[in-house]
Structure 1
Amino acid sequence: MRELNAVSLFFRLALAMISGGLLGLERGRKRRPAGCRTYMLVCLGAALTMLLGQYESIALDLHWSSLAESIGQRTDVSRFSAQVVNGIGFLGAGTILVTGRQEVKGLTTAAGLWASACMGLAIGAGFYECVILCVLLIFLCMRFLPVIENMLIERARFINIYVEFHSLDNIGTIINRIKEQGAQICDVDISRTGAEGSKNPSAVFSIRLEHKQPHTRILTAIAELDSIYTIDEF
């Protein structure tokens, strides 16, 4: 399994995707910005980069050895890959946004861009077997995983709620209503204005449910208050 063959490639890439997904699943259940798919793509891209380095080293010793001898010096080809991996980070950072509701978006897109850059390097080096396996795993991650991830998140005990209300005096009433539903408030971020130019005060509640229950139950309970203008889960 330590050799560079088809079985080893599939095992390493699959293990990277599963390992990253398990770590991301725990963060996703707690409604953190970087979830299951983000961790999967980053771990998969890192594994692909390491495999590419091994492939280049073997190819330079075997297939490209005569060319290296004719040049007369040994070139570290991995330096070119390192520059691309570092450079794509700036492009990925541009896709990450923090909305007015304190919601982080674009992390999965940034991770996908980085993984795509790693695949481009592998294609340029002629490492076709690894690229095909990586494309299939990334496609499975992007196409089918969101359905499973959403099912798990809907049953999670951690939720984030964005609320717009009449005045700051209503905060105590909202907090009491949340506690009446058997929930614990982990964090509150209060603002004098709402998202998207709204002039109503707003707050973001990070909540932990004491027992598993439908999230719509606590949302409905808060929405029944007369002082609530907008409520949304994210």
Structure 2
Amino acid sequence: MMFDPFIKLGISAVLGLIIGLERELKRKPVGLKTCLVISISSCLLTIVSIESAYVFPLKDHITMDPLRLAAQIVSGVGFLGAGVILRRGNDSITGLTTAAIIWGAAGIGVAVGAGFYWESAFGVALLIVSVELIPFLINFFGPKQLREKEILLQITVADTKNIADVIEKIKLQHIDIKTMRIKDLEDNQHLIKLKAVIDQKRAAADIYYAIRSIDSIVHIDIESG
């Protein structure tokens, strides 16, 4: 069919648009344009790979794998995915979902290019449900560990004898401390670095006001994902 490649490219563009919009709404580094380019390009390379296997005759009846070129898309997209994975100062890793979305957009393009239209549409639907609806449901019905988020606290305490008291009062604010590091500063002040977990629904401002009311605390720095 003469217009079949153009239909495939159009479908891959629409499905890539849906994936890209989800990232764009969350202000992620990989957004609408990136997902569109990945999906359309993957579809185009798949079309070229399949059509080349049957259009160009080979000598000595050697057969050509129609998806050999498309198989290299997975490797190529890996470089893009690695570029959006970041390691922050508190040793937390960000960008893994975005990297997976890049890989998924390429997979959708390959599937559409190979002619699996309904499978591709269903795959996009499952992908959106997986990154949007399921985390929302987990926040309400999932295990406690999945309903918590990690924060990094840096607290300056005025006197050595107040450190233990400050730590106990922080724990009373429903803050589960995982790791702790204490560093001496000038003027008999001490820097306490805490990695802790709190309920997913609690805002950083709420934690700030709860801790700021504790006596002997001079300075607070909160980093929340």
TM-score, normalised by the number of residues in structure 2: 0.53
More moved, 104-113 vs 164-173: 164-173
Aligned to 2:196: 206
Aligned to 1:44: none
Q: Structure 1 166/95 Cα, relative in aligned 2: closer, same or farther at 3 Å?
A: same
- Listed one character per residue, the Cα deviations across residues 54-106 of structure 1 (whole Å, up to 9, x for unaligned) are xxxxxx9xxx9x949x6422223343233111111110111112233443221
Could you tell me the percent identity over the aligned residues?
Answer: 31
For residues 33-52 of structure 1, the aligned pairs below 5 Å read: none
Deviation at 1:117, TM superposition (A): 0.6
- Listed one character per residue, the Cα deviations across residues 18-51 of structure 1 (whole Å, up to 9, x for unaligned) are xxxxxxxxxxxxxxxxxxxxxxxxxxxxxxxxxx
Q: 2:148, 2:115 → 1: CA distance?
A: 45
Task: State whether residues 186 and 206 of structure 1, in contact with CA within 8 Å, keep that contact through their aligned partners in structure 2.
Answer: yes
Task: State whether residues 152 and 196 of structure 2, in contact with CA within 8 Å, keep that contact through their aligned partners in structure 1.
Answer: no
Flag structure 1 segments of 5+ consecutive residues without an equivalent.
1-59, 193-199
Deviation at 1:124, TM superposition (A): 1.5
Q: 1:95, 1:191 → 2: CA distance?
A: 33
Aligned to 1:111: 100
| Residue type of the alignment partner of 2:129 | L
Q: 1:144, 1:132 → 2: CA distance?
A: 17
SS at match of 1:144: helix
Deviation at 1:125, TM superposition (A): 1.5
For residues 50-89 of structure 1, the aligned pairs below 5 Å read: 67=54, 71=58, 72-89=61-78
Q: How many residues align?
A: 161
Q: 2:116, 2:183 → 1: CA distance?
A: 52
TM-score, normalised by the number of residues in structure 1: 0.51
Aligned to 2:133: 144
Flag structure 2 segments of 5+ consecutive residues without an equivalent.
1-49, 185-189
Task: State whether residues 123 and 131 of structure 1, in contact with CA within 8 Å, keep that contact through their aligned partners in structure 2.
Answer: yes
| Residue type of the alignment partner of 1:105 | T
Aligned to 2:179: 187
Instruction: Determine which of 216, 221, 224 is the counterpart of 1:230.
Output: 221
Instruction: Determine which of 142, 152, 155 is the counterpart of 1:162.
Output: 152
- Listed one character per residue, the Cα deviations across residues 182-209 of structure 1 (whole Å, up to 9, x for unaligned) are 76533346789xxxxxxx95624134x8
Aligned to 1:95: 84
Max radius of gyration: which structure? 2
Q: 2:166, 2:143 → 1: CA distance?
A: 22
Q: 1:126, 1:166 → 2: CA distance?
A: 61
Deviation at 1:229, TM superposition (A): 1.9
Task: State whether residues 92 and 109 of structure 1, in contact with CA within 8 Å, keep that contact through their aligned partners in structure 2.
Answer: yes
Deviation at 1:151, TM superposition (A): 3.5
Aligned to 1:131: 120
Q: Structure 1 184/229 Cα, relative in aligned 2: closer, same or farther at 3 Å?
A: closer
Deviation at 1:173, TM superposition (A): 4.5
Task: State whether residues 160 and 206 of structure 1, in contact with CA within 8 Å, keep that contact through their aligned partners in structure 2.
Answer: yes
Q: 2:165, 2:70 → 1: CA distance?
A: 56
More moved, 100-109 vs 180-189: 180-189
Q: 1:233, 1:153 → 2: CA distance?
A: 21
User: RMSD between aligned alpha carbons?
Assistant: 4.2
Q: Structure 1 126/190 Cα, relative in aligned 2: closer, same or farther at 3 Å?
A: farther
Q: 2:131, 2:174 → 1: CA distance?
A: 35
Deviation at 1:116, TM superposition (A): 0.6
Task: State whether residues 165 and 201 of structure 1, in contact with CA within 8 Å, keep that contact through their aligned partners in structure 2.
Answer: yes
Task: State whether residues 96 and 110 of structure 1, in contact with CA within 8 Å, keep that contact through their aligned partners in structure 2.
Answer: yes
SS at match of 1:82: helix
